[in-house]
Structure 1
Amino acid sequence: MGQDTTDNRLLVWVALGIVYVVWGSTYLGIAIAVETIPPMLSGAMRFVAAGILLGGFLVAKNGTAAFRMTRREFVGAAVAGLLLLTLGNGLLAVAELHISSGLAALLVASVPLWLVMFRFVVRDRPKTLTLAGVLVGLAGVAALSLTGGHGANSTTGIIVVLIGSLSWAVGSFLSSRISMPSNPFAASTIEMLVGGVGLAVLGTGLGERFDLSAVSGRSWAGLAYLILVGSLVGFTSFVWLLGNAPISLVSTYAYVNPAVAVALGALVLSEPVTLRILGGGLVILIGVALVISTERKRPQGVTESVDRGGDVRLGVSGGQEP
């Protein structure tokens, strides 16, 4: 019994480490992929490929029964895929053409704050400490977004990533309130496939064109990493954690991932880490930590949605990211 407990704890920390590093590194992967691949088309290839691989694995393991769902459940997963991946992830990739991956990750970390604000719409009043966390976190967002020193391109990137984060928050909020497939792997497969197709249509409609000869080996490597590691390894690790670790521990990814993203961006891409980024980012993460630590005490607090890398993530909606 003691050995089993020790082994399980070790597995929990291994899986948590994977989620910390893998999800934090997806921002770097996106930045590298969009160097020579149009951002929305790169997302389309990523999510369609990951969806086919995940769906194929699920059918091979459990048969087609895993995809038994009502039309309403399918539509729910499809809507979530469009909001989370087509708009949320697609706009993140576009933003990383203009701002650093670290700054993008810190702004995306504000998603739990928007989710708490949406609860006012359905008259679910959060706790006072939760609201305090929201105000603190939004102050950090303002510090990163409104202070001087931005060029025109940076301002565009900040606006785009905030719009994408808002779409992500809306998708997460709705995912906990509409009918979804009971099997999270099947739901994620549908979300990735629909979201990927949506990205292909939107990217093509906005004038993106894929030139195979212009794509560098570095960008192909980044895309492969996002598909195989970001969208599959990270997803599997997170789903396993949901059934084997306390939510209070699992939810710490929401404020560890941005720190990992900033560090990797600086180390690999030599992205500047200014005092403004450090200060504003720290304020955001303090606000998110306060929200999560307060909300996770509510018993109905865990909802699931699909992450920006095609992975299931916790939502701070209806009571409990990113």
Structure 2
Amino acid sequence: MNASAGEVVPTSSAEAAPPWKIWSALWIVYIVWGSTYLAIALMVETIPPLLGAGARFMAVGLLLLPILAWRRGGHVWRPTRAELLSAGFVGLMLPGANAVISVAQQTVPSGLAALLVASIPLFVILLRRLTGESISWQSLVATLIGFGGLVLLLNPEGEATLIGLLACVFAAFMWALGSFSSPRISLPRDPLVSTAWQSLLGGIAVFTTGVLTGELPDVHFGEFSGRSIGGLLYLITFGSLLAFTSYAWLLQNAPISKVSTYAYVNPVVAIALGWLVLNESITPTTLLGAGIIVASVALVIRVESPKKP
């Protein structure tokens, strides 16, 4: 769950850049965004999830805004009221979704969480259909099949609880709603400025929620493990800054059908890292559900990508 506020399946193509640059950026997005689920699992071992997620996004906003103001002018600090409200809403949906995932990953394995979140493009198709947009029958069939795979995975095993699994699904819906809404509301035109404000406002909301729900007494800095601190720093630097910059560049320089492959590569990376680093089990049910969801998302992306003239 790491894309920008733009559409999950973007709808504009771009002139291709040199292949080595495209593949370098793609591999950053594949590996780094796929590994953020592992980083979240490490972070929540000793850091309260909502406070940790809130600190992550507030840090991103506070790092990006001064840099953008220095490079692009002081107007970065002066969004309109409509832009601020829109960025706040999307910030509640996208960073908020990451916060829900952080809470859920206290019981849900990182690979399984990534698989459930991979349903985001399916929810986007559902939202488009519910708002009256015409959807191809291939996309609708793929979406129904994908939700079948989702239901298959809602079977608590090991430490995973049904509440935790449903929280992952709800987080996927939140991300889809934020992505679906973002091109339809008055966000700042500059995507980096927009993301900075979304991160800052969403981070403040998540951090405040953590305080109000009683996480503050659980903060014991001396008990934060190196793994948890490392996970948080990784999420700030690599997950939110490096990978997002690479993704934003790809949207302007690579065919959209190739860029969109991150949506079904990330879960594979997350499952592999969870198995290698955290010894998470991979059951036959997980493999079957993974195959169904990844295949349906791949089909949706292929069908919805613009066709060459």
User: Is the counterpart of residue 160 in structure 1 residue 167 in structure 2?
Assistant: yes
Partner of 1:199: 206
User: Is the counterpart of residue 145 in structure 1 residue 154 in structure 2?
Assistant: yes
Per-residue deviation, 1:298: 6.7
Tell me how far apart the structure 1 counterparts of residues 19 and 77 of structure 2 sit (CA, whole Å). Answer: 32
Partner of 1:268: 277
Determine which of 220, 235, 239 is the counterpart of 1:226: 235
> Taking structure 2 as the reference length, what is the TM-score of the superposition?
0.90
Tell me how far apart the structure 2 counterparts of residues 60 and 179 of structure 1 sit (CA, whole Å). Answer: 23
Q: Show the 5 A alignment for 1:162-311.
A: 162-209=169-216, 210-297=219-306
Tell me how far apart the structure 2 counterparts of residues 71 and 184 of structure 1 sit (CA, whole Å). Answer: 17
Tell me how far apart the structure 1 counterparts of residues 225 and 157 of structure 2 sit (CA, whole Å). Answer: 29
- Please, which runs of 5 or more residues in structure 2 have no aligned partner? 1-14
User: Structure 2: which amino acid aligns with 1:85?
Assistant: P
Name the CA shift for 1:233/1:167 in 2 (closer, same or farther; >3 Å): same
Tell me how far apart the structure 1 counterparts of residues 17 and 166 of structure 2 sit (CA, whole Å). Answer: 45
Q: Show the 5 A alignment for 1:53-132.
A: 53-86=63-96, 88-132=97-141
Post-superposition Cα deviations, 1:228-274, rounded to whole Å, max 9, x if no partner, equal 11000001101111111010100000000010000111111111111
User: Structure 1: which amino acid aligns with 2:88?
Assistant: A
Partner of 1:40: 50
Moved over 4 A (4+): none
User: Structure 2: which amino acid aligns with 1:32?
Assistant: L
Tell me how far apart the structure 1 counterparts of residues 67 and 231 of structure 2 sit (CA, whole Å). Answer: 23
Per-residue deviation, 1:37: 0.2
Per-residue deviation, 1:66: 3.9
Per-residue deviation, 1:125: 2.1
User: Structure 2: which amino acid aligns with 1:89?
Assistant: N
Tell me how far apart the structure 2 counterparts of residues 70 and 261 of structure 1 sit (CA, whole Å). Answer: 38
User: Structure 2: which amino acid aligns with 1:282?
Assistant: G
Identity %: 44
Q: How many residues are treated as equivalent by the alignment? A: 292
Post-superposition Cα deviations, 1:259-308, rounded to whole Å, max 9, x if no partner, equal 00001111111111111111101100111011110011279xxxxxxxxx
> Taking structure 1 as the reference length, what is the TM-score of the superposition?
0.87
Tell me how far apart the structure 2 counterparts of residues 239 and 6 of structure 1 sit (CA, whole Å). Answer: 14
1:19 counterpart SS class = helix
Per-residue deviation, 1:6: 11
Tell me how far apart the structure 1 counterparts of residues 44 and 228 of structure 2 sit (CA, whole Å). Answer: 7
- Please, which runs of 5 or more residues in structure 1 have no aligned partner? 300-322
Tell me how far apart the structure 1 counterparts of residues 54 and 129 of structure 2 sit (CA, whole Å). Answer: 34
Per-residue deviation, 1:156: 1.9
User: Structure 2: which amino acid aligns with 1:200?
Assistant: F
Per-residue deviation, 1:117: 0.7
1:192 counterpart SS class = helix
Tell me how far apart the structure 1 counterparts of residues 16 and 122 of structure 2 sit (CA, whole Å). Answer: 36
Q: Tell me if structure 1 keeps the 8 A contact 2:17–2:253.
A: no
Partner of 1:320: none
User: Structure 2: which amino acid aligns with 1:127?
Assistant: S
User: Is the counterpart of residue 23 in structure 1 residue 33 in structure 2?
Assistant: yes
Partner of 2:3: none
Aligned-residue CA RMSD (Å): 1.8
Per-residue deviation, 1:207: 1.2
